[in-house]
Structure 1
Amino acid sequence: MGCKSAPHVPREAARRDYSSGRARCGWLDVSGSDEAGMSENNNVPPHSAAPDRTKLRLLCERLVREAQQKGIAVGELSVMCRGRRRVGAKGGGRAASSPPPSATVPSANTSANTSARWRWLASALVVASAVLALQTQLLERLRLDFVSSKCVVRNNYFVMEATRLRTDCGRVCVGVREAAEFSANVTRAAFEEWAYLSRPLVVRQAAAHWPALERFSLPFFRSVYDSVEGAYEAVSEECQFLPFRSEFVDLRDALAMHPARAARAPGTRPWYFGWSNCSPGVSAIMRQLAPRPPFLPAGSESSALDWIFMGGDGAGAAWHLDYVQRPSWQAQISGTKSWHFRPVPECQDVCQSFNVTVEKGDIIFVDTNQWYHTTFIHEGALSITIGSEYD
């Protein structure tokens, strides 16, 4: 809102317009003012009052701009811009007009209102700053919790699925209807042709001679982790425990289960869990009993991280992709497990699902980053597997 500039008019016409009490400045009302009053308000000679009304409009326009910048309502300015009668004036004469706009002297009420506004604004800023600081602290804590929680980061499949690289369907799964199979005497050269195709492959009885087939059991793992200092802490702080079909909170809790439940006695609750090992002492013991498959490519390096999964019949891991960026091998130390594979969404129109069953002594190779997979444990012996990654 602003004052409109008055067009140039002849002096006599301006006098007629002025004497009629009609001003040309928007909301500015000078009705009842005469030539002398206008000259008094603007400090100009009476004969120059009419044309110099433009000065008043310009001053008001400036006052409006300043008021808008300071947050003062325009309605409050109209009081300062009007000619008012002084109540109780001696002799009932005409009122002295309000101070000229150029002086911008606020009334007591205006000053009080402005002061109140500033106090309110200061209080609001203090409260807003406190709330913002609290929100910042909470968001930072959530961020740190998210990053530091291995379980949240690894199992946040919605985020990982949305951000993973698209699969090359032609290379990975087109034309694949079943897992390829080799016998235990496969040569390194023959295996290397398949090692990085990302297609599921089973080498039958490749681990049949491993000492782990006779040694691995729940009591064995408990004795190893109990004997190696810091082994449980290494899993909790640096690796990962996956409770799957159990209520266990960590590896120590799982390995300490009651012997009757560990033996899957009738009436006891079923269980299945897994973990990755980050204890060098434990790794040294397990690698002596479950060595690196000898036919892996000569130039490849195995991860120092071992994964162990164990449990009774029933569902194993639910449908998922892994996000380890390298292909994996997993040896079936005891029991029988079926793997079910499904292509990723972008390949489902050109690829198909299938499954394969792995028996005691078999080793399965699969790029779990490229195939959705789930597992199922068959009735009979306890299923125990150990595996790792290779590049």
Structure 2
Amino acid sequence: MVLNAKKQGIEKKLSKLYTKCKESGLTDEEILAASSPLQEYIKKSKQLETSKKRIRLVVCTAIAICVLAILFQYDPIYRVVCIVGRILSIKTLPFYDWSEFYYMDCVLYNPYYLRDGLTEEDCEMCEDLLYVETFEHLDPKNTTYFLFDNIPIVVTDALDSWKATKEFNLEYIKKLYSEDEVLATSTVCSFVSQSEDDFPTFLQTLGETSPTWNIRWSNCDIQANKILRQYFQRPYFLPDMVQVVGSWVFMASGTKRDPERARLEKVEKEQGDSFFNPEGWQEFIRDDNMQWMAQIKGQYAISLTPVEPCNRTCQPLNFELNPGEILIFTPKMWFFEYMPYGEEDSIALASMGDWE
């Protein structure tokens, strides 16, 4: 109220001053020129007031962000915010479908953006590749070349010091996952099997009520992953640029436990075919830069199929992965499938890797 009264008083005085100027014979242009210092002062005052408002807004925003950041470090508050945000997202979905934007790689189309895909030039590296070459005492620098050229290789001496090669078998793994406090209470991820039972139940039936099996799982719990990492190390031939991510366990029964599979495998071998059942392959799809699979016990049949566009010029690679061998390849170039093979039970460990 006081401010409005002052403003009205100033307006009245200016109105009287303007009237006297006109009575004195001054034109509007002369009055405007004479009042230019006052106008300049008013303009600067408005700019100063605007700057003060902006500074106050920036300071308040910064304080609010700092407070929110501090609160988000407090786990209960962070969980509440996540829960509320998820509930609100679900509630708004019937009225506005935001999922299209959630799954978009880019909100705005960039004509200069190129996906990290394969080109015809990339395919030149595998055109004459007819088998997977094996190495020992492999220098990490050479591994870098193989990774960048998308050439799969097998290394034969990387598992010599691994605890898993000495101790892992069916009974040991069953005992490990039932008696170790961390592994027994943690939840595994991406468990794949032919049974509808959960992982702990099905694992304990292997070799008993479940005479044959072909399973895999991932240890997504950090502490469980640390327990498993006690049984293997980072492969010595990996270059420093590769950051190893996660761990997977593959297990399958051998033909000693499966007479029908043994019969089919024998027939196919007599006919000169390398692998017995074209319907027995299982795919394992990942989008990491690199993947390795280490054969601990038994054998797996491996199939690496070139992906588009290299499948038109490069050949699929089928081979056996034997105990003590580790396969390394790039999923960008090769579609990976595996199948239990041979008489003995198979156990393999796998992990992925990325680099900038």
The match for 1:36 is none
From 167, 171, 185, the counterpart of 1:215:
167
The match for 2:226 is 284
For 1:255, the aligned partner's letter is L
The match for 2:345 is 382
Find the residue that maps to 1:205 and give its secondary structure: coil
CA distance, structure 1, for counterparts of residue 197 and residue 333 of structure 2 = 29
CA distance, structure 2, for counterparts of residue 296 and residue 337 of structure 1 = 22
Distance change (3 Å), C-alpha of 1:258 and 1:353: closer
Q: Is the 8 A contact 1:331 1:362 kept in 2?
A: yes
Q: Is the 8 A contact 1:199 1:366 kept in 2?
A: yes
> If the length of structure 2 is used for normalisation, what is the TM-score?
0.55
Name stretches of at least 5 consecutive residues in structure 1 with no aligned partner. 1-135, 144-163, 263-267
Distance change (3 Å), C-alpha of 1:179 and 1:192: farther
Deviation readout 1:222-279 (Å, 9 max, x if unpaired): 332223446466434xx21111xx21433212211054356xxxxx4x2100000123
The match for 2:236 is 294
Distance change (3 Å), C-alpha of 1:165 and 1:218: same
Distance change (3 Å), C-alpha of 1:319 and 1:198: farther
Q: Does 2:203 align with 1:255?
A: yes
The match for 2:250 is 309
Distance change (3 Å), C-alpha of 1:295 and 1:338: same
Distance change (3 Å), C-alpha of 1:342 and 1:259: closer
For 2:341, the aligned partner's letter is H
CA distance, structure 1, for counterparts of residue 280 and residue 312 of structure 2 = 25
CA distance, structure 1, for counterparts of residue 190 and residue 340 of structure 2 = 22
Q: What is the aligned-residue RMSD (CA, Å)?
A: 3.1
For 2:328, the aligned partner's letter is F
The match for 1:328 is 291
For 1:114-193, list aligned pairs within 5 A: 166-172=117-123, 174-193=126-145
Distance change (3 Å), C-alpha of 1:169 and 1:255: farther
CA distance, structure 1, for counterparts of residue 307 and residue 184 of structure 2 = 35
Q: What's the offset of the Cα at 1:333?
A: 0.1
For 1:294, the aligned partner's letter is Y
Distance change (3 Å), C-alpha of 1:333 and 1:258: closer
Aligned-pair identity in percent equals: 23
Find the residue that maps to 1:286 and give its secondary structure: helix
Distance change (3 Å), C-alpha of 1:323 and 1:317: farther
For 2:205, the aligned partner's letter is M
Q: Which moved more, 1:209-218 or 1:324-333?
A: 209-218
CA distance, structure 2, for counterparts of residue 260 and residue 321 of structure 1 = 27
For 1:196, the aligned partner's letter is F
The match for 1:361 is 324
The match for 1:349 is 312
Name stretches of at least 5 consecutive residues in structure 2 with no aligned partner. 1-89, 98-114, 255-260, 262-276
Q: What's the offset of the Cα at 1:321?
A: 5.9
CA distance, structure 2, for counterparts of residue 349 and residue 183 of structure 1 = 28
> If the length of structure 1 is used for normalisation, what is the TM-score?
0.50
Q: Is the 8 A contact 2:214 2:251 kept in 1?
A: yes
Q: Which moved more, 1:331-340 or 1:207-216?
A: 207-216
Q: Is the 8 A contact 2:182 2:224 kept in 1?
A: no
CA distance, structure 1, for counterparts of residue 297 and residue 251 of structure 2 = 9
Q: What's the offset of the Cα at 1:369?
A: 4.0
CA distance, structure 1, for counterparts of residue 308 and residue 344 of structure 2 = 35
Q: Is the 8 A contact 2:132 2:317 kept in 1?
A: no
The match for 1:205 is 157
The match for 2:258 is none
Q: What's the offset of the Cα at 1:294?
A: 1.1
Distance change (3 Å), C-alpha of 1:196 and 1:216: farther
The match for 1:58 is none
Find the residue that maps to 2:296 and give its secondary structure: strand
Q: What's the offset of the Cα at 1:381?
A: 1.3
Q: Find the structure with the greater CA-based Rg.
A: 1
The match for 2:147 is 195
The match for 1:241 is 191
For 1:207, the aligned partner's letter is L
Q: Is the 8 A contact 1:225 1:282 kept in 2?
A: no
Find the residue that maps to 1:193 and give its secondary structure: helix
Name the structure where strand makes up a greater proportion of residues. Answer: 2
Tell which has more relative contact order, 1 or 2 (C-alpha 8 A, sep 6+): 2
Q: How many equivalent pairs are there?
A: 224
Q: Is the 8 A contact 1:274 1:308 kept in 2?
A: yes
